[in-house]
Structure 1
Amino acid sequence: MLQFARSTFFREVEEDIPEIPQHKFNFVEYDQLSSRVDINDILSDVIGRLISIKGVEESNVGNRVVKRRNLTIQNIREESLGITLWGEIGQNFDENAVQQMSEPVIIAFTAMATKQYLGGLYVASTSATSFYFEPTIAESEKIKRRFSHSIQGIDFITPSTEKPTTLEEQKTMNRLMIAELRCLDPYQNQDQKFTTKATITQIDAQQGWFYNACPRCYRRVRQSGTSWWCDTHAYLTTIPISWYKINARIEDSTGGINIVMLGKTVQSLVNKACSILTIQEGYTDPNIIPPLIDQLKGMSKIFLIQFRPRGAFIDATIVKTFDDDESQMLLPAPPVQSPKHIPQPLTSLDPQTPLPETKKGVKKQLFITESTTEEIQSSPQQHPSSTEIQTSFADPSKKRKESRSDEKGKKIRHG
């Protein structure tokens, strides 16, 4: 802001001065965005040619339904970056005007926040975001020359007509107890997500709590001399990042199951990025659990679980967590009528482990319904009295003595 006071004076500049640019940007390379994930006080400018536009859709953000529009841009190295425009800025994006432009269409976005979803990076609009078509800058001209002979056009994608699921619907999606989860075939249920209400009881320190990851795909990288190798992106041009991977156990009143929690799922529970713990706070040993991570033990949540492949195995992976409105308690297991008929739970997700044929028997055996309880209470004559119960648990040696006395009395009477 400029402030003019009484002492301010103006002087006309007569000498030649360089032309003042109409726009000023501070662009960030796509592969540098990973260091800015969820750091909302550092916003980024990005530029690229437009390769896809999706219509406006609705999305749940907290307890609100918000409109959004997704786009994709591509840089001079043909690396793609997702763009999410929230609210009015997404609705005001005129895709009809884009159809009238000659390709390639170059577009620049300012003041974008870097986010991550399912292992992929994207940038999202903020209240300060603006976008500019064909800005008269050198970067725009370079991209335009690079793709001047490209035959790839802009893909206009029809938005989904499905209504977004509410928070309550997400929290109760395919709700199962842990005993039921363990009886599922993980190979046949990879496309499904399940929720369960449980408590974190153990954290496996032997398998580490973080690993060195590729900044672009978040896969584990290996050190090769002084460089780092990613199986997807070859040698890294930047240093790897620290990425949460916690092997833990969750339990409810029916049993427990081993799970894996990655990246942002863990960060949402501890409210701290993995790189802060490793770089700033010095927890560089993956086999020594920091106190902040150890405090997860005893935490009760509603867990959204998906079976995800890992080589020859499949992990029960926590995709998202929700706060539980009711306090969670690890209660003793309910009485079981016929234990021999309950399918044995899977002790491993090894593909060689035989899988049970059905999970229907679990509910029948693990839970006594209210109607069954009422029948027992309303029909006391069907059950032994307290005297009979005490008799049934009498000393067996005493019973044998009484039996021999009766037989001896009979012989005397018949003698």
Structure 2
Amino acid sequence: MLTNEYVKRVYDQVQKRDGDQPEFLQAVYEVLDTLQPVIAKHPEYEANGVLERLVEPERVIKFRVAWVDDAGKVQVNRGYRIQFNSAIGPYKGGLRFHPTVNEGVIKFLGFEQILKNSLTTLPMGGGKGGSDFNPKGKSDAEVMRFCQAFMTELCRHIGQFTDVPAGDINVGGREIGYLFGQYKRIRDEYSGVLTGKGLEFGGSLARTEATGYGLCYYTQEALRVLKNDSFAGKTVVISGSGNVAIYATEKAQQLGAKVVTASDSNGYVYDPDGIKLDVVKQIKEVERGRIKEYAERVPGAEYHEGCAGVWTVPCDIALPCATQNEINEESAKALVAGGCKVVCEGANMPSTPEAIEVYKSNGLLYGPAKAANAGGVAVSGLEMSQNSYRLSWTFEETDAKLKSIMESIVAASLAAAKEYGEEGDLMAGANIAGFVKVANAMVAQGVL
């Protein structure tokens, strides 16, 4: 409930301007709601119009992407890059290629990215981009031509000291390689303008694993601090079967848990003996197939149509790693009924507000996405550092830095929550800790 007059005024303005962007409105409301005690304590934020400026992107770039498919037919997609806030560093955030991409989706992701990047303690502002292009079912040559056309326009808006994109849904090593190659060809420079690059041309060890591993480091630390517990011996339900889900599964298994599910947009598989990760990697990373093939290859595994059913599987810990708003109120109640005690988010905003209310009212440990899935952008920031130094750290060095960052996010969130009367609330704490750093920088730099 918004009760602070300044906060209400700002949200009303967002509703009037962006009423057709539900994901963005959802993200803004959640953040503003938790920031009310901070705003009440710091009148300088209102005096300097911090909230009005925070919810309005510094720059919105929208462009046509024309390319030719294998049949020789011209295809046209829309491209986006939203440079949201640069108060603490160059814009940083992924590129998403998916049919659902539109301006509202990119705005919600970019807004979340501001606070997520702030939480990592690395000097990175918030941005996001992408296209409604769908790489699924396309040949490598078609993906290459699309990426080259996309970068031909994007390259004029980015740079290693201005805006450093990374990958997101459907933008992995293949796509980043094509994008980087086109940037290099047009700009005639070899710089760290993209992260998630191949190891042969400036990438970082542990970047592929970073978001999934970071999610588990965060969850493990939150369990330790708040519950005096760990992953050991727990049953874990994970949604998705992309990069985040695969490496969250890998790390959870290493930490002693049994992960029993994986899913994609068609349905989910349940393996009571524990997910065989080598099979998932073969299907998804090598063959680019569908998760139902897992049940055809692994005896005892079950495939179920419809991905929402994954939340009906009994578990101790749930790690949603697929997409936004994948857990609604009904799914959240199913998790509680199945014995779930912990929900930490690997996808961006995977829980609806109603689902979050179910978590809180039932006493679940809840780790919000902007904190729990910050591992990917954290290692992206570390990749930027390695590129600047012209060196590479070992996997062990990078992984240790990642683990330290995720643990520090838990500590900072809990400290901020306690300071503003929300003790133990990881969601409020993450929003507050991320915001205060950015807000103070915005005040110090004047009205821009």
TM-score under structure 1 length normalisation: 0.22
Structure label with greater radius of gyration: 1
Higher helix share: 2
Higher strand share: 1
TM-score under structure 2 length normalisation: 0.21
Q: Which has the higher contact order (CA 8 A, sep 6+)?
A: 2
